[in-house]
Structure 1
Amino acid sequence: MPSLPLKSHNYDFLLPLIHSMYDEIIVYDDNYQIVYVNNACQRHYDCSPEDMIGKSFFDFVDRNCWNNSILPIVYKEKKAYAIKQKTFIGTELFTIAVPIFDLRGNLTYVIMNVRDHLSGIPLYNPNYSYQSSKPEAIPEIIATSFKMKHVMDITTKISTIDVSCILTGETGTGKTLLAKYLHFISHRSEFPFISLNCASIPTSLIESELFGYEKGAFTGAHTKGKKGLFEVAHGGTLLLDEISELPLSAQAKLLHVIQEQSYLPIGANIPVSVNVRILAATNKDLKTQIANGLFREDLYYRLNVVEIYLPPLRERREDIPELVNRFLTHFNFKYGYSKTITDNAMTLLCNAEWKGNIRELRHVIERIVVTSDSPIIDAVHLPSAISNNNNMSLYFTTTSPGSSFDSKVEEYEASIIKEAYQQYGSSRKVASHLGLSQTRAHKLIKKYVH
Structure 2
Amino acid sequence: MKLSQLISAALLCCVGFGSNAAEREIDSVAVIVDNSVVLESDVTDIVERVKRNAQAQGQTLPSDAALRTQATERLILTNLQLQLAQRMGMQISDAQLDDTIRNIAQDEKLSLEQFRQQVIAEEGNYERFRERLRDEMITGEVVRANVQRRIYISPQEIDSVLKMMEEQGASNEQYNIGHILIAIPSQASAEDISEAKDRADKVMQLLRDGSDFKRIAIASSSGANALEGGDLGWMNINEMPTLFSEAIRGRKKTDIVGPLRSGAGFHILTIFDIRGENVAAINEVKSRHILIKPSIILSEERARTMLADFAAKVRAGEADFAELAKQHSEDPGSKLNGGDLGWSEPTVFVPAFRDTLNRLEINEISEPFRTEHGWHIAQVLDKRTVDATADKKREQVYRMIFNRRYNEEASNFLRELRSEAHIEVLADN
Give the alignment's TM-score, normalised by structure 2: 0.28
Which entry has the higher C-alpha Rg, 1 or 2?
1
Higher helix share: 2
Greater RCO (Cα-Cα under 8 Å, separation 6 or more): 2
